Chain A
Amino acid sequence: MRPASRLLPLLALAIACPAIAQRASDRVDPAPTAADWQAIARLPDWSGTWSPDIVDQNAQIRTNPTPWKPDIQRQVDHWTAEEAAGRPKGLLIDCLPHGTPTFILITHNALEILFSPGRVTILGESDGNRLRRIHTDGRAMPADPDPSFHGYSVGHWDGSTLVVDTKGILPQVYLAVSEAVGIPNNGDMRVKERIHLVDPDTLAFDLEIDAPRVLTRPWKTTRLYHRKRQRSHEIVEGVCRQGDFRDATDARGNAIFAPAYQQDGNILPAPNEK
């Protein structure tokens, strides 16, 4: 069979089947060129490990409180009182991702930021799924992105500031002010960020959080991360659910994970453990 005649059945199939015809318009990104990689060298240096300024996280909440709607404020007050009484709501004990923007707002673990042609990737610690992909290849925000924990992010560089727009965030994702106080955003949340250095080793995330179901107005707040270059500060693997298990050996002598005893997310000695 000659090449042209070999394609005929495929062509017939494409015409007959709209799904395949649609794939024909699937955008194919070209391979990055040497110039694309060289352009990265002209971006600001965000290498190293970025540790959250937790004291400042808490200060921001006190001095620039979230503009919750009145009925949402009542829920927030309840969870704040519960935490103060020693009964914190475990927002994250199911190990699902913080999501956007809570990951940036309240994380207590470090993150790192990778540049590649057309992409900025933010990798968190304390779970493999603390991961944000920010498309910087000039694409438009999709009209209706599939909802996800971190949403769909497009960004561009405004000088040395990365400007990011995120939507398509799952309604269940908490807008949280601590690991015990947060409310699901309930849908239609959009987050705008301007990420930039404020001194050689401090990165600021200026956030504008528009969550119309729970906030009276868009909330502008800033989170700071400090750079460390020591190897002891490098990001390490952190699998959140590993803490739900303990090392054990099965009857055949294989190393396995066995469920660890816990209550409300607290590791405790098992009742029969002496």
Chain B
Amino acid sequence: MTRLVLAAAALTMLGVATSPPAEAHHSFAMFDPSKARTLRGTVREFRWVNPHVSLFVLADGGTGGAPELWAVELTSPGNLTRLGWTRKSLKPGDKVLVEINPLRDGQRGGGFRKATLVETGQVLQARLIDIEKKGEQ
């Protein structure tokens, strides 16, 4: 028993650095983990629903281009609640910087990495590894 738990703990520690952000319902492999892109813009909509919360951001276009609407997928409401989020963590009109892993096919969608609220500087993250940590009873 103890050996099993110790082995699991060791693997957990190893996994911290290597595991990609894990999500429910579908794999996130369609998002390119080797590319990070930061959307600077305004929250259009924050859909607090299963299986994936989604965030719509009207992002500044590049070099004078027109604004672009992006859809960003996160984990489930249950998992986000465990990480301290609420359905009001982001609201339409909030100015945000949202870091994503973009879809590989070039469409305007991405997997969420983190968001920064411009007005307050608050950083929101959604790493499942922070839920599955042991302890904190």
Contacts and interface: CB of A to CB of B under 8 A. Distances in A.
A37 B1 CA distance: 30
Contact of B29 (A52, A84, A229, A242): A84
Contacts of A173: none
Given A198-B4, A236-B78, A238-B77, A83 B27 contact: yes
Interface residues of B, number: 55
Given A110-B82, A179-B24, A246-B45, 15 more contacts: A54-B128, A56-B8, A56-B11, A83-B29, A126-B51, A126-B78, A201-B134, A201-B135, A202-B134, A228-B82, A230-B136, A232-B82, A233-B131, A242-B50, A266-B107
Interface of B: 1, 4-5, 8, 11-12, 14-16, 19, 22-32, 45, 47, 49-52, 54, 56, 69-71, 73, 75-79, 81-82, 84, 103-104, 107-109, 128-129, 131-137
Which of B104, B109, B132 neighbours the largest number of chain A CB atoms within 10 Å of its CB?
Answer: B132
Nearest to B109: A268
Interface in A84-135: 84, 86-88, 90-93, 95, 107-110, 125-127
A55 interface: yes
A198 B8 CA distance: 11
Interface residues of A, number: 63
A88 B50 contact: no
A51 B12 CA distance: 14
Contact of A55 (B5, B19, B51): B19
A33 interface: no
